[in-house]
Amino acid sequence: MPFARVLQLYSAALQRHPWRTQIVTTGVLWGAGDVLAQRFEKAPFDARRCALTAAYGASFIGPVGHAWYLGLDRAARALFRPGSLAFVGGKVVADTAVFGPVHVAGYFSYMTALEGGGPPEILAKLRRDFWPTFSAELAVWPVVQAANFKLVPVQYQLLVVNVFTILANAAGNQIFIVVRKGKQYPPAVCDVRIKYEQTIADVKAAASAKLGVPKDKLLLFWQNKELTRAYDSKTLLDLNLHTGFSLSGYDLSEEPDYWPPVIETPEGRRILTGDEALQA
């Protein structure tokens, strides 16, 4: 079916049943995006992951995104001349400051809850991964949304966001890397795109190149454990490491200022948490 015909049918459905259309379309697109990503990853198909991804798109991004873009457009039209620099810029600032954090926090909370985590696990996930994820997205989404708000009618803006998300996910898992050097604050942050069949050695190489840190000086942790050379041959699939997770670490070019405290163990360094950290 020609693209123009598909867009025509979508527009007609959007006019008749806007909420239902946005919810169903977003769920389908998020599910299709995960299917596409898994095909690129060449890993065994994970139906549960696909269903959870589609459910998140339909239950959260569809209705919340639809309401957000309509409300944002109405507010911007009341304050600025439509299409002006202030109109587009104001929408980008509001979208980045409000919807961006809500989306990141919502995704982490949803996925953690469905994996069996309660409030303590959700809070721990947000403390560890929210800022690295959100700060890395600041390098991409404001530019995408500036074009979206300038060129695309409001009723199609959620569709554009969904399609861009699919294309980004097809490039591989987005892993965030947070690295401190000495007493540096804030830490350096980057994101790397890694497929499931690639290894921790590939993650280290990509992070080293992006951060400008020599590989032999890059110390990374996953789930509070050092990713020693013993992990280098492990794939992301082996470690269940995927989009939305982050690795913390240190640039050992300078004496590290470890916090939380780090101890040496026979298996490598380990980050202390909770009462252990307070007692160290």
Question: What does the DSSP assignment read for 114-163?
Answer: HTT--HHHHHHHHHHHHHHHHHHHTTTHHHHHHHHHHHS-GGGHHHHHHH
Give percent helix, percent strand, percent coil of the chain, each to the nearest 5.
Answer: 65, 15, 25
* C-alpha R_g of the chain: 21
Contact 73, 91 (CB under 8 A): yes
Give the pLDDT mean for 115-135: 80
Most confidently modeled range among 33-42, 84-93, 105-114: 84-93
Report the phi/psi class of residue 61: left, alpha or beta, with left for phi > 0 and alpha for psi in -120 to 50. Answer: alpha
Peptide bond between residue 44 and the one before it cis (omega within 30 degrees of 0): no
Closest C-alpha among 175, 170, 169, 196 to residue 43: 196
Beta strands in 135-236 (DSSP E): 173-181, 188-194, 218-222, 225-226
The count of other CB atoms within 10 Å of the CB of residue 34 is 25
More confident residue, 147 or 118: 147
What mean pLDDT is reported for the chain?
88
What is the bridge-based pairing of β-strands 246-251 and 262-265?
A: unpaired
Q: What are the tokens at 83?
A: 């299409």
pLDDT higher than threshold 80 for residue 200: yes
Give the tens place of pLDDT for each residue, 146-187: 999 999 999 999 999 999 888 877 777 778 898 999 988 888
